[in-house]
Amino acid sequence: MPPFKALHIFPLFCASALTFGSMIPFFRPHHAIREFGLPERIAVSQPAQASFVISGARGSVIGMAMWIFYLQGKLKAVA
């Protein structure tokens, strides 16, 4: 793990927000679609919910990858 510096705060915040914020569609896809600002008719659509879950998975993987690169000391990959 690299020595912590104040400059690491923002990338680590982004990594955490991506990792955990992107998990909302896994548990409440209808709520995630409504929070995104789309109308109710789209929020109840099964294909729309599936696409939001896939998008959430992608965001979570990117956030986890940022954390893994940081913990491995590959800071250029995180920034």
Q: Are 30 and 43 in contact (CB under 8 A)?
A: yes
pLDDT in tens, 54-69: 999 999 999 999 999 9
Query: Does a structural domain hold residue 33?
Result: yes
Query: Does a structural domain hold residue 44?
Result: yes
Helix (H) or strand (E) holding 71: helix 46-72
What is residue 1's predicted lDDT score, i.e. its pLDDT?
A: 73
Structure tokens at 38: 């789309």
Query: Does a structural domain hold residue 79?
Result: no
Domain count, the chain: 1
Query: Does a structural domain hold residue 1?
Result: no
For residue 43, which amino acid is it? A
What is residue 64's predicted lDDT score, i.e. its pLDDT?
A: 95
Query: Does a structural domain hold residue 57?
Result: yes
pLDDT in tens, 18-28: 999 899 999 99
pLDDT in tens, 30-48: 999 999 999 999 999 999 9
Q: Domain of 51? A: 6-74
Query: Does a structural domain hold residue 43?
Result: yes
Predicted TM-score (pTM) of the model is 0.80
What is residue 5's predicted lDDT score, i.e. its pLDDT?
A: 84
